[in-house]
Structures are given as structure tokens and as C-alpha cells.
Chains A and B, each alone.
Chain A
Amino acid sequence: MMSALLEAHGLQAFYGDAQALFGIDLSLAQGELVAIIGANGAGKSTLLKCLTGLVRTPREAVRFKGEAIGGLPPGEIVKRGLAMVPEGRRLFPSLSVEENLLIGGLAGRKGPWNLQRLYGLFPILAEKRHNPGTELSGGQQQMVALGRALMSNPELLLCDELSLGLAPIVIREIYAAMPAITGEGMTVVIVEQDLTMAQRVSQRIYCLQEGRVSLAGRSDALSREQISQAYFGI
């Protein structure tokens, strides 16, 4: 049995005195596409922030490639091969499309992803490479945010609400790029509000409800009823 790429044990998280996560157990194998679903406030974004170092966790709570990385600064984590596409895109307004992508490559990791390959995947970005990142449509900005994370050549890519605020046809376009991303063995986690999309593209699902894992299983083995119950906590 292959050892897990990423493991979280009893992961807790606090915002000041308010507890957001109450002991999450999570395991990701290499090459998987895993969806994390849950209602607003369930703790999905908090979980991703814990994994990427934006929220403090105990050192041993998260292991990546066997190394305890909890509480490390985000810069250290991205150097080790874990990158995130943040919720709401959060492109740098003062930077052009190309400059936003180049910043993603700062970690200096070697791998197949570079500007040329990204422009091949999302040709519209090549056309708009010198435009300020924020002058693009929502879907195009999502492509830039995704590309920016890919530029660090991660082994594990976390995507927080890729479909937020986007039209269905644009969401399909973004997800159509997934095979090219996972094709070479990259592990991907998607946090998704779109349950249909989540179940369709992923191999496994974790459902969070009020800071706890309420359901975990293979996407093709879970019924919509099971998922709804776990989602709403009924």
C-alpha cells in the first residue's frame, strides 16, 4: 500500500477563541482528485488554510510526504510542493497577467509547468498577458489564479471554490483543464459548492459539517441522499 502524500490527524483550528475545526482526519494518496464539500462556514477554507500555513496548526497535525509541516510559514510549504488557488482568485491588481503568473514561480521548483505550457492550456491568457490581472473576466481571472499556483510545480494542488461566481459554461471550461493538470500524477483537492461537479470529477469526497468530517467515501459509491444528509447535518 502506498504511503499517503498528505495526512492530517486530529486537526484543530482556531480563529482567536472561536474554534473552526474540531479534529479533522484526512488522507490523500498521490494522483488522486479529492473533493471537499460542505455548507458555508463548515470549515472547508479553514482546512485548506491550515494545510498551506495561513492558519496555525500543531506541527504534527499535518504530514506531507512524511514530514510534519503543521505551523510552517506558507513560503516553506510551497517550496515543499503544496500550492493553493485561493478562494476569490485574489490576483495582484498591480501586476499584469504574466507578472501574476511569474510570481507563482518564485518557489523555484522544477517541473513541467511554465509560462509556455500555461499559455497552451489557456490561450486567452497569452492574448492578455500584459493586461492588468483584474481587467479580465471572472473565468479568465480563475485561469490566471490556477496558472499562478501551477507555476510553482506543486505535487499537491488545493483549489478553493474554483466555480465561485462563475457561469456554468465557464465552470465547465475550467474543469476541462483538469485532466491536463492531473495527467502527470499531480494530486488535486477541490473545495466545491457545486455538488454535481464535485461528484463528477473527483474519486473521493470528504464532507465537512460544522468543523467535523461528516462523511467520507468514494464519489461513485455515495448517493445524493447520503451526501445531502452529511452536508446539512440531518
Chain B
Amino acid sequence: MIEIFLQGILLGGLYTLFALGQSLMFGVMRLTNTAQGDFIILGAFAVVAGTALAGGAPFAVALAVLPLAFGFGYALQRYVLNGTLGKDPLPSLVVTFGLSIVIQNLLLELFSADPRSIETGGLNTQGLALGESLSLGVLPLVILAIAVAATAGLQWLFARTALGRSFRAVSDDREIAELMGLDAKKVYAFATAIAFVLIAVAGALQGMRTTVSPSDGPLLLLFAFEAVIIGGMGSFWGTLAGAMILGITQQIGFRLDPGWGIWVGHIVFLIVLVLRPQGLFPKTRG
């Protein structure tokens, strides 16, 4: 039982990283990025390609991808997604859906359908022994640590910095925020830039822990979405909690039957959506 719980927590760490970027973009600008999963896979392939070009050093390549992701996210929001924002949620859904298709086909063209992974010199198989019968993977522990640090970092950014204040202000009332001198277009671009750094981190780690292929995106989107919905809107710690719950329920499902893991997660997600649509830990707004 303990092992299910611990493995669920570790999986939850990964799902947190899938979900944080989604939570951030939705929280600041009410934008649902349907290409979230595909961008994560794109990030993974960027590290795959970079590592092949560099002949090794996957961690250095992953770090080098981060500022590129920041710039890419900023430009994407500034020049493409800002134009889709408004009262109607449809344009942003349609455009990001279109991006999802473009990315999948682009990756298919460049890399073929074969699954790839990022070589980490055996890190993905190393384990940490806990007692006699329990072993936790080192890489999943690293992923969990990064997930917690990222969540704490985002929470701190929002609560304690001027940029975080700007995010909250434009999210609350864009018109009055602009009256105060905030350039909403630039604020949104910064939010997406940060979200894409998280996406790149998630992609790199996903590619290290397992294989990735161009069509993996939509399933990752589903996990991200479920984590955000279960946890509740408006809180990054809520997203982490939602991801943990999703991870644990999937692990319970896997134990019941290997084919049931993801399905049990979906059931729990649906139950939360029906009984408490605002999520388990929503941050209430005035």
C-alpha cells in the first residue's frame, strides 16, 4: 500500500510539471493551450536532436533549451496567441488545436514515428533502496524535487514579486490594469514564456524517463488537464495536489489490473468534475 502511495507521488511529480504551464496560462489569461502536450513532446525532441548534434551531454543541452523555450513562448504569445484572446474562448482553442496538429506532423516529418529517448547514462534505471523491499527510482525522485521547486517558485513569483502582481492584476481586470499603465500584451507574453520553460523542463524529463514519439502529445495534455481540474483553479499548490491525486489513483488502478491505470484516473477526474467542478482546492476570488 505504501509503495502504491509513493509511486503515485512520484508520478504526480511528473504530472505536476505537465500541468503547471497549463495552470499558469489559464490562470493569467484564461487561455486553454490544447497543444500543451505536443509542446512538451516538441521540447523532448529538441533535447533529443540537440544531444545527437552535440554528441552527448543531455543535461547541458536541456539547460540550453530553456532560454530558447522562454523566447519561443514569448514570441508565440506576443505575435500569435494574443490575437486570439477575448470574450470568446473559441479562437484560442482552435488556434492551439491547429498548432497541435502542425507540431505532430512536423515531428513526424523530422523524426519519423519511431520512439526516441534521451540517453542519461543509466540514470533512468538507478534506484534508491528504502528498507528491504522498497526501491524508488532516482530520476523520478529528481523529477519530484524539480516539480516541488517549480511549484514553490511559481507561488513565490505570483505572491511576492511585481511581475506576479501584474499577472494577478491583468487576470482580474485587464481594462483597469491597462489604465494603471500595464501593457497586458507584454504581461501575457511573459506568462507564456515562463509556461514554456516549464514545458521544456517537462519534455526533457519525460524524454529521459521513457521513450517519446510524435503522437504522444494528446495523452500528456489529458493528464495535465485532469491534474489542473482535480486540483482546482487559481492555485499552483492545488495543481500539484491534483497531480498527486491523479498519480496515486492511476497507481491504484495499475495494481488492480495493468490495463486499468489511466482509466481509473479518468474515473476519478470525472467524479471530481461532477461533484465539485471548481476542483478540490480552488482559490476563491472575491
Q: Does B172 contact A (CB under 8 A)?
A: yes
Give per-residue flags for B175-186: 1 if the beta carbon is below 8 A from chain A beta carbons, else 0. 111111111000
- CB within 8 Å of B: which of A92-112? 92-95, 99, 102-104, 106-107
User: Residue A102 contacts which of B165, B175, B178, B179 (CB distance < 8 angstroms)?
Assistant: B165
Q: A89 — nearest CB in chain B belongs to which residue?
A: B176
Q: How far is the CA of A95 from the CA of B173 in the complex (A)?
A: 11
Chain B residue numbers with a CB within 8 Å of A86 are: 176, 179
Would you list which residues of chain B between 152 and 173 have a CB under 8 Å from chain A? 162, 165-166, 168-169, 171-173
Asked if A54 is an interface residue, CB under 8 A from chain B, the answer is yes
Stretch at the interface among A5-13, A70-78, A161-169, A184-192: A70-78
Q: Verify B179–A95 contact, CB threshold 8 A.
A: no
> Could you tell me if A152 and B172 are in contact, using CB atoms closer than 8 angstroms?
no
**B168 contacts A106, C-beta separation under 8 Å:** no
* B165 pairs with A99, CB closer than 8 A: yes
Contact B178 A95 (CB under 8 A): no
B285 contacts the other chain (Cβ, under 8 Å)?
Answer: yes
Q: Which of A54, A99, A133 contacts B179 (CB 8 A)?
A: A54
Q: Tally chain B residues at the interface, Cβ within 8 Å.
A: 19
Evaluate contact between B180 and A148: CB separation under 8 angstroms. yes
Asked if A84 CB lies within 8 Å of chain B CBs, one says yes
Determine whether B286 belongs to the interface, using a CB cutoff of 8 Å to chain A: yes
| Contact residues, A107-134 vs B (CB, 8 A) | 107, 132-134
Is A140's beta carbon under 8 Å from chain B?
Answer: no
A78 touches B172 (CB 8 A): no
Nearest B-chain residue to A94, judged by Cβ: B168
Of residues 70 to 104 in B, which have CB atoms within 8 Å of A's CB atoms?
none
In the complex the two chains form, what is the Cα distance from A78 to B182 in whole Å? Answer: 10
Q: Tell whether, in the assembled complex, residue B176 and residue A106 are in contact, meaning their CB atoms are under 8 Å apart.
A: no
Chain B residues lying within 8 Å of A52, measured Cβ to Cβ, are 179
Given contacts A132-B286, A134-B286, contact A103 B173 (CB under 8 A): no
Do the beta carbons of B181 and A107 come within 8 Å of each other? yes
A63 CB contacts on chain B under 8 angstroms: none
- Pick the residue among A84, A103, A133 that contacts B165 (CB under 8 A): A103
Contact of B180 among A78, A132, A134 (CB under 8 A): A78
Q: How far is the CA of A144 from the CA of B147 in the complex (A)?
A: 37
Asked whether, in the complex, the Cβ of A95 is within 8 Å of the Cβ of B169, the reply is yes
| A92 CB, nearest partner CB in chain B, Å | 4
* Those of A59-97 within 8 Å (CB) of chain B: 73-75, 78-79, 84, 86, 90, 92-95
Bound-state CA distance A152–B180 (Å) is 8
Q: Answer whether residue A135 sits at the interface, using C-beta atoms and an 8 A cutoff.
A: yes
Q: Which one, B168, B169, B172, B178, contacts A74 given CB within 8 A? A: B178
Q: What's the Cα separation between A106 and B178 when bound, in Å?
A: 11
Please name the residue on chain B nearest to A86 by beta carbon: B176
> A75-B181, A99-B165, A107-B181 are known contacts. Are A90 and B286 too (CB-CB below 8 A)?
no
Determine whether the beta carbon of B172 is less than 8 Å from that of A93.
yes
On whether the beta carbons of B178 and A73 are closer than 8 Å, the reply is yes
Given contacts A92-B169, A94-B168, A95-B165, contact A152 B176 (CB under 8 A): no
A106 lies within 8 A of B181 (CB): yes
Distance of A145 from chain B, by nearest CB (Å):
9
A-side contacts of B165, CB under 8 Å: 95, 99, 102-103
B178: contacting residue among A75, A92, A134, CB under 8 A: A75
CB distance from A24 to the nearest CB of B (A): 20
Closest residue on chain B to residue A135 by CB atoms: B286
Q: Which of B176, B182, B285 contacts A90 (CB 8 A)?
A: B176
**Pairwise interchain contact A94-B178, C-beta atoms closer than 8 A:** no
* Structural contact, A106 and B182, CB atoms closer than 8 A: yes
Q: List 9 A-B contacts (CB under 8 A).
A: A74-B181, A75-B183, A92-B173, A94-B169, A95-B168, A95-B169, A102-B162, A104-B180, A106-B166
4 nearest CB pairs, A to B: A134-B286, A93-B286, A94-B168, A107-B181
Residues of A within 8 A of B (CB): 52, 54, 73-75, 78-79, 84, 86, 90, 92-95, 99, 102-104, 106-107, 132-135, 148, 152
